[in-house]
C-alpha cells in the first residue's frame, strides 16, 4: 500500500508537467487547464475500483455489488439523472439497472452409439434444455471427420440453434477437451427464448446407426446490475452519446489466494467514464444527451450490455464510446489510443478532426487478427447498427498482465491513462455539441451471436 501511495505522488508531479505542456499546444476552443479532468479524482477512482477489497469484482459476488454502489454514488454526487427519470437525484439506488440471467449447469449425461455406452470423459454438452431424451431421429446428427473443421461446424450449429448430436474424430481431442472444459463451467443466458442443445461425442465411429442421449441440467436465476446515468442534452436531448466500460472482472484464483484486480481490464475504462461524466456535468453545455454506463458481466459473455441495449431504442444512440483497457501506453506512445472496427463507420475520422489541434490522433486497431471488435460490449450495440467501437491502448500481443493477477494498479501508467481520458474528452466534443453525426454500422456485416452457448 505504501509503495502505491509513493508512486501516485510521483505521478501527480509528472502529470502537472504533462498537463502544462499539453495546455501550451491547445487553442482557445479547447478546455482551459482549469476545466481539465482532475488527476486526483482519476487516481482515487481507479485505486478504489482495482483495490483488493473488491476481490476482483466477479459477476454474482457481493463485492461487485459494492463496486456498483460506489459507481452509483459517484453518479449521484456528480448530479446526473437515472435512465428512467427526469430529475437529478441523490439516491444512488436509482442508478442501478438490475436484471436476471439464467445459469445452466449440466447435471447428468449418458450416450450410447450403435449400442455401445460411451465413456463420460468423451462427452461434452452445451444445453439450454433441462431434460434431453434423444433416440434415433430426435436430434440432427453430424460427423466431424479427422480432416474436417470442428470449430467451424460447432459455430454454425450454435448460430442455427436446435438440437444436435456431433460425433468428433479423436484427431480433434485437444480442441474437444477445450470445449468440454468451457461447457463444464456452465452456460449463462439472458433469455431462454432459443432453447437448444449440442452434445459432443469424441469417437472414431464414422457411421451412426442408432443412438440414445439422456441428459439433465439445472437452471437457476441470478441477478446482475449495470450502473447507468444520464446527463440530459440542452437542445437535442433525444440523441444519445453513450460512454461505456465494464466494471466486472474475473474475481479470485480458484484456490482463493490471489485477486484478479483488473486494474487495466477494466477499472481503467470505468474510471474514464466517471471522470468524463464529471467533466461534462461541470461544463453543462452538452446539446446531446450523454449517457454513462458501467456494464456488468462483460467477462462472462457481455450480458450487461445485452440487457442495457434492450432498455432503449438503439436508433437514438448516435455513437458508443466503449472504453476498454487504457491503463498503459499503446504501441503508438504514452497517452495515445486506438479503436476497434474503425473501418465500419466514420466515427474515427470525425473524432480525429478534433485531435489535430492536440497533434495526436486515434489510431486503427493494430491487432485485427485478435478480433477485438467482437471481444467487448461495443459488439452488442454494433449488431443494432450503432456506431459502437471500443477505445483501448493495450498492447495485447505482449501484455504480460492481461487476465493475470498482476493486472493491478502498480502495472499501470496513470499519466498515460489520464492523457487518454483527456484526449477522448476533446475528441468527442463535437459529438457532444451535436455538430457531427457518424455513419451507422452496417448490422449485416456484424457476426451474429450463438444461440446455444
Distance in Å, CB of 225 to Zn ion, minimum: 18
Q: Which is nearer to Zn ion, 71 or 202 (CB)?
A: 71
Distance in Å, CB of 92 to Zn ion, minimum: 26
Residue 364 has phi, psi (to 5 degrees) of -75, 145
How do strand 163-168 and strand 140-144 relate by DSSP bridges?
A: parallel
Edge-to-edge strand order for the sheet containing 197-202?
123-127, 197-202, 163-168, 140-144
Contact mark string toward Zn ion, 209..248, x via CB under 5 A: ----------------------------------------
42-81: burial string, b at 16+ Cβ within 10 Å, e else: bbebbbbbbbeebbbbbbbbebbbebbbbbbebbbebbbb
Q: Does 266 sit behind a cis peptide bond, omega within 30 degrees of 0 on the bond before it?
A: yes
Q: How far is Cα of residue 64 from the mean position of the Cα atoms in its chain?
A: 15
Is residue 233 within 8 Å of residue 216, measured between CB atoms?
no
**Binding of Zn ion by 264 (CB under 5 A):** no
Cα gap 154→124, rounded to integer Å: 12
Distance in Å, CB of 412 to Zn ion, minimum: 15
Q: Which is nearer to Zn ion, 57 or 189 (CB)?
A: 57
Q: Which is nearer to Zn ion, 265 or 422 (CB)?
A: 265
Distance in Å, CB of 71 to Zn ion, minimum: 18
List C-alpha distances in Å: 391 to 205, 268, 400: 48, 11, 20
**CA-wise closest residue to 438 among 188, 272, 239, 290:** 239
Q: Which is nearer to Zn ion, 298 or 422 (CB)?
A: 298
Stretch that binds Zn ion, among 182-190, 213-221, 252-260, 262-270 (CB under 5 A): 262-270
Q: Which is nearer to Zn ion, 278 or 330 (CB)?
A: 330
Contact mark string toward Zn ion, 332..351, x via CB under 5 A: --------------------
Stretch that binds Zn ion, among 164-172, 258-266, 302-310, 410-418 (CB under 5 A): 258-266
Q: Which is nearer to Zn ion, 104 or 325 (CB)?
A: 325
Q: Which is nearer to Zn ion, 245 or 286 (CB)?
A: 245
Is residue 139 within 8 Å of residue 165, measured between CB atoms?
yes
**Binding of Zn ion by 265 (CB under 5 A):** yes
What are the grid coordinates assigned to 325, written together?
483497457
Cα gap 212→218, rounded to integer Å: 20
Stretch that binds Zn ion, among 93-101, 125-133, 193-201, 264-272 (CB under 5 A): 264-272
**Binding of Zn ion by 407 (CB under 5 A):** no
Residue 368 has phi, psi (to 5 degrees) of -55, -30
Distance in Å, CB of 411 to Zn ion, minimum: 14
In the chain, the largest separation of any two C-alpha atoms, in whole Å, equals 80
Distance in Å, CB of 372 to Zn ion, minimum: 11
Pick out residues in 271-310 that bind Zn ion (CB under 5 A).
none
Stretch that binds Zn ion, among 69-77, 95-103, 261-269, 384-392 (CB under 5 A): 261-269
Binding site for Zn ion (CB under 5 A): 265
Amino acid at each position: 500500500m505504501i509503495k502505491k501511495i509513493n508512486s501516485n505522488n510521483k505521478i501527480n508531479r509528472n502529470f502537472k508537467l504533462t498537463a502544462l505542456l499539453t495546455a501550451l499546444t491547445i487553442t482557445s476552443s479547447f478546455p482551459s487547464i482549469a476545466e481539465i479532468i482532475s488527476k486526483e479524482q482519476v487516481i482515487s477512482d481507479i485505486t478504489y475500483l482495482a483495490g483488493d477489497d473488491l476481490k476482483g469484482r466477479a459477476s454474482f459476488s457481493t463485492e461487485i455489488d459494492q463496486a456498483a454502489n460506489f459507481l452509483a454514488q459517484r453518479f449521484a454526487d456528480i448530479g446526473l439523472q437515472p435512465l428512467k427519470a427526469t430529475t437529478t437525484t441523490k439516491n444512488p439506488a436509482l442508478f442501478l439497472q438490475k436484471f436476471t440471467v439464467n445459469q445452466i449447469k449440466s447435471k447428468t449425461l449418458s450416450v450410447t452409439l450403435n449400442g455401445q455406452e460411451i465413456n463420460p470423459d468423451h462427452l461434452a454438452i452445451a444445453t439450454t434444455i433441462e431434460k434431453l431424451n434423444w433416440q434415433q431421429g430426435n436430434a440432427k446428427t453430424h460427423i466431424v471427420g479427422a480432416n474436417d473443421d470442428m470449430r467451424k461446424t460447432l459455430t454454425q450449429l450454435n448460430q442455427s440453434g436446435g438440437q444436435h448430436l456431433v460425433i468428433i474424430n479423436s484427431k480433434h481431442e485437444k480442441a474437444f477437451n477445450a470445449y468440454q472444459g468451457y461447457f463444464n463451467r456452465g452456460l449463462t443466458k439472458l433469455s431462454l427464448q432459443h432453447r437448444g442443445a449440442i452434445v459432443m461425442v469424441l469417437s472414431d465411429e464414422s457411421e451412426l446407426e442408432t443412438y440414445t442421449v439422456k441428459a439433465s441440467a439445472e437452471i437457476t436465476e441470478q441477478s446482475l446490475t449495470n450502473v447507468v446515468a444520464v446527463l440530459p442534452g440542452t437542445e437535442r436531448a433525444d440523441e444519445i452519446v453513450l460512454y461505456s466500460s465494464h466494471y466486472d472482472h474475473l474475481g479470485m484464483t480458484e484456490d482463493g489466494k490471489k485477486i484478479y484486480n483488473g486494474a487495466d481490464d477494466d477499472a481503467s475504462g470505468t474510471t474514464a467514464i466517471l471522470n468524463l461524466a464529471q467533466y461534462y456535468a461541470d461544463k453543462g453545455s452538452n446539446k446531446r444527451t450523454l449517457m454513462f454506463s458501467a456494464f456488468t458481466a462483460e467477462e462472462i459473455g457481455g450480458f450487461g450490455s445485452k440487457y442495457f441495449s434492450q432498455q432503449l431504442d438503439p436508433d437514438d444512440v448516435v455513437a458508443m464510446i466503449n472504453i476498454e483497457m487504457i491503463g498503459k501506453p499503446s504501441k503508438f506512445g504514452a497517452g495515445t489510443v486506438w479503436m476497434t472496427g474503425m473501418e465500419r463507420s466514420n466515427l474515427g475520422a470525425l473524432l480525429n478532426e478534433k485531435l489535430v489541434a492536440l497533434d495526436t490522433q486515434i489510431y486503427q486497431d493494430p491487432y485485427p487478427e485478435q478480433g477485438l471488435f467482437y471481444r467487448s460490449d461495443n459488439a452488442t450495440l454494433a449488431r443494432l447498427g450503432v456506431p459502437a467501437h471500443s477505445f483501448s491502448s493495450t498492447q495485447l500481443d505482449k501484455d504480460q498482465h492481461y487476465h493475470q493477477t498482476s493486472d493491478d494498479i502498480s502495472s499501470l501508467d496513470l499519466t498515460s491513462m489520464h492523457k487518454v481520458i483527456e484526449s477522448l474528452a476533446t475528441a468527442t466534443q463535437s459529438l457532444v455539441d451535436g455538430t457531427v453525426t457518424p455513419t451507422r454500422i452496417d448490422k449485416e456485416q456484424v457476426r451474429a451471436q450463438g444461440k446455444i452457448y
